[in-house]
Amino acid sequence: GESVGLHLPTLSVQEGDNSIINCAYSNSASDYFIWYKQESGKGPQFIIDIRSNMDKRQGQRVTVLLNKTVKHLSLQIAATQPGDSAVYFCAENIGTNAGKSTFGDGTTLTVKP
Amino acid sequence: DAGVTQSPTHLIKTRGQQVTLRCSPKSGHDTVSWYQQALGQGPQFIFQYYEEEERQRGNFPDRFSGHQFPNYSSELNVNALLLGDSALYLCASSLKWEETQYFGPGTRLLVL
């Protein structure tokens, strides 16, 4: 249930497995990145962010990795649960203005019980 | 503590009409951003309001305009609606522009 490096529009994993969602960003000047989760009928929800002076940041069950050389971002979800099923978006920003985010293509994560 | 609220939840208009969407930010927030999300795509930034002024704007035509009121609530206006304006319109608020933004549930606009 993992994908490394390649952005996939959909990802299906078994409950309890780890998930990796990838994102390629477009602007080499971007220096602030955010992952959002969007459930059906709701607006995006902040998960975790990372600034360009870091290459890894951990939250609760989630880790974001940033590779500026290849302009790649990934979100790792440990012990994926059915409640993690949603569309996940990465967003890039220049500066700290999260309100002017450029969103990438989403990945639909489906967790099978 | 209420989160970001938007009204209406759904709206149907015809081509050429005008529409106004409303957003109330999360309590304590003073910055509002608007996004358009077409079906199956990520949100696209329209503009951002802070201190009742448009501070940032994305690549949207002048048909899209907005306003922010002294209580920090905001409106998005779209004139001369096109079929391609059919989308989910999201409002997000934050404390100034440097903090985490919180999204509302959106207004689903259908243009026939």
Over residues B13-47, the pLDDT tens digits come to: 999 999 999 999 999 999 999 999 999 999 999 99
Pairing of strands B19-24, B5-7: antiparallel
- Which residues on adjacent β-strands are paired with residue B87? B109
User: What is the least distance, in Å, from the CA of A51 to any CA of chain B?
Assistant: 12
CB contact under 8 A, A97 and B44: no
A105 vs B contacts (CB less than 8 Å): 41-42
Burial A59-82 (b: 16+ CB within 10 A, else e): eeebbbbbeeeeebbbbbbeebee
Residue of A nearest to B55 (CA): A100
B28 vs B94: CA distance, rounded Å:
8
pLDDT of A77 reads: 98
A95 vs B27: CA distance, rounded Å:
25
* DSSP assignment string, B52-65: TEEEEE-S--TTEE
Tens of pLDDT along chain A (113 residues) come to 333 356 789 999 999 999 999 999 988 899 899 999 999 989 999 999 999 999 999 999 999 999 999 999 999 999 999 999 999 999 998 877 777 889 988 999 999 98
- Which residues on adjacent β-strands are paired with residue A62? A77
Residue B81, pLDDT above cutoff 60? yes
CB contact under 8 A, A89 and B42: yes
Closest CA to B48 of B62, B29, B24, B67: B67
CB contact under 8 A, A100 and B45: yes
Nearest residue, CB atoms, A99 vs list B48, B104, B106 = B48
B9 vs A contacts (CB less than 8 Å): none
Nearest residue, CB atoms, A105 vs list B31, B33, B42 = B42
pLDDT of A3 reads: 37
Distance of CA B106 to CAs A79, A82, A100, A112, B99, Å? 30, 24, 17, 28, 20
Residue whose pair of structure tokens reads 């999360």 in the numeric block: B26
Over residues B50-70, the pLDDT tens digits come to: 999 999 999 999 999 999 999
pLDDT band of residue B1 (cuts 50, 70, 90) is: low
